[in-house]
Structure formats: structure tokens, C-alpha cells
Amino acid sequence: MEPLANKGVLGALLVQFPWKFRYSPENLEYLSDFFRCMKDFSLALEVRHGSWNREPFYGFLRENNVALCNIDQPVIGNSIPPGERLTAQLGYFRFHGRNYENWFREGAGRDARYDYLYTKDEIRQLANRIRKVQKEAQETYVVTNNHFRGQALVNAMEILEELDEEPPAVPPLLEAAYPDRFPRPSNAK
């Protein structure tokens, strides 16, 4: 990772934990040790369990200059809810989709879990959350992770359009695969 950081092409390292990783003194100590080992890199931490949703944890991230990865996922049981928190100079978002039917279904594979295309209204809501963080952050990253059948790229393009207020250049194959999301002007060939 050092060569990437030295060349200026490493934005941040995402440290991701599954839903079963819960808030506890032992896990805080583990994270503290890990952050110390990785102090030379910009870090974003993704936790999914709702037990982490507490102010002492956010203060802990601030003290360690680690960005909270604001996630969007199905909120089932004690899952961490969507947010727009800034705990470091870096803002970070990761959008997994809202496939409630398959998120925790036994035997659902990766594709089934992440098979979700955000609606235009949901994209506007996500963009509003991003804007709130961008106002305070030095740099903000947004990762779409609803990757099944190119849906992450569709939603990434829509988020860019919502944030920039102009349509981005859409790859022709993506435009052809999702004509209802990228309608061509009537004079286009």
C-alpha cells in the first residue's frame, strides 16, 4: 500500500466488518491496535451492527482520525441505520442496496443480496446525505456496491448527475442495458 500512497493514488483504505462484529471493549481494543498499526494511511471503518451506533464510538473514531463509512443497507433487526456522519477529514459512503428479501436469507448468494437498483427518489435522498458531509469534509468518497448486473454503475452515474446537476457521459453498453434510466434525446441516433 505504501507505493500507492507515495504516488498519491491511494485515497483511503476501507476496513470492513460483517454484521456479527459487535460493539464491545475487546473489539474497541482490537480497532485501536489496528488503527495504530495503520496510522500512516487514511482509513474508513465500515461496521454494520446497530450496537456501534453510539456517541462514544463516534468520538473514538474522531480521536483516531478514522472516517465512519456511512452505509446504506437493509435495516433489519439491529442493523446500523443509514447516516451522514463525519468523524475525520474524510467523508465516506458505501451503498449496498435495500434488498430486504435476500439480505439475510439463508443460502442467498452475493448476487441475490446486492441485486438492487435505487429509485430516482432514493438517489436524491442519498445525494442529500452526501452533500451534508461534503460541506465539512476535505474529501468525500462514494462507493456503490449494489453491483449485480451493473446496477452500481447505473446508480453511480445517477448520483453524479444529482450532485453535479448535469448528466455524466454514460458508457453506450450501460445506456443500452438500462434505456429507462438513461433515455436518449429524441434527436439522438
pLDDT > 70 fraction of the chain, expressed in percent and rounded: 97
* CA-closest candidate to residue 66, choices 34, 107, 114: 34
Q: How confident is the model at residue 185 (pLDDT cuts 50, 70, 90)?
A: low
Taking the C-alpha atoms of residue 40 and residue 184, their distance in angstroms, rounded to an integer, is 46
pTM of the model: 0.92
Give the amino acid at 125: Q
pLDDT tens-digit readout, 17-32: 999 999 999 999 999 9
Q: What's the pLDDT at 114? A: 92
Residue 189 has pLDDT above 80, yes or no: no
Work out the mean pLDDT of the chain and round it to a whole number: 93
